[in-house]
């Protein structure tokens, strides 16, 4: 896989990342439209809001969290992998797509970088609404 062009590697990582944010947005839209109980799980104050406005607000929140996770992943991995590989591994990790730019996947990385890529992937696997809600209501609500 090392003989593949950088453009191909980037486009594959970008498509994974873009698909991940698309799935998050579609899931939110379906969940919010399903029932009042599902909407209250996302935000207890949604009963007074209109459906379109609340869907747009939650979409903005989810995309913001996704972008922040992506930027944080790149910044965390950059010192160990360099900008290019930090970008590729973060786009694949946050989206939980799993494609790596090397045939050996994580085994091609230095030992210190492997757990960090796993942290980025695990952070992307958590519900995006959870991040925003914990930011809004406090981190202690994660464990209550």
In a domain, 1, yes or no: no
How many angstroms separate the CA atoms of 16 and 93, rounded?
A: 9
Task: Give the model confidence (pLDDT) of 26-44 as tens digits.
Answer: 776 666 655 555 555 555 5
* Average of per-residue pLDDT values in the chain: 80
**pTM across the whole model:** 0.77
In a domain, 55, yes or no: yes
In a domain, 99, yes or no: yes
The range of the structural domain enclosing residue 67 comes to 6-142
Alpha helices in the chain (DSSP H): 6-34, 36-42, 51-81, 83-94, 113-125, 128-137
State yes or no: pLDDT of 53 exceeds 70.
no
State yes or no: pLDDT of 115 exceeds 90.
yes
How many structural domains does the chain have? 1
């Amino acid at each position: 896989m090392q003989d593949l062009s950088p453009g191909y590697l980037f486009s594959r990582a970008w498509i994974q990342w873009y698909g991940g944010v698309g799935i998050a947005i579609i899931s939110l839209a379906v969940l919010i439209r399903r029932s009042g109980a599902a909407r209250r799980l996302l935000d207890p104050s949604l009963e007074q809001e209109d459906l379109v406005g609340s869907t747009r607000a939650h979409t903005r929140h989810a995309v913001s969290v996704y972008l922040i996770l992506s930027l944080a992943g790149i910044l965390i991995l950059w010192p160990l992998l360099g900008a290019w590989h930090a970008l590729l591994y973060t786009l694949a990790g946050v989206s939980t797509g799993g494609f790596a730019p090397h045939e050996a996947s994580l085994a091609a990385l230095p030992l210190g970088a492997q757990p960090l890529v796993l942290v980025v992937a695990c952070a992307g696997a958590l519900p995006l609404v959870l991040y925003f809600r914990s930011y809004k209501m406090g981190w202690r609500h994660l464990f209550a």
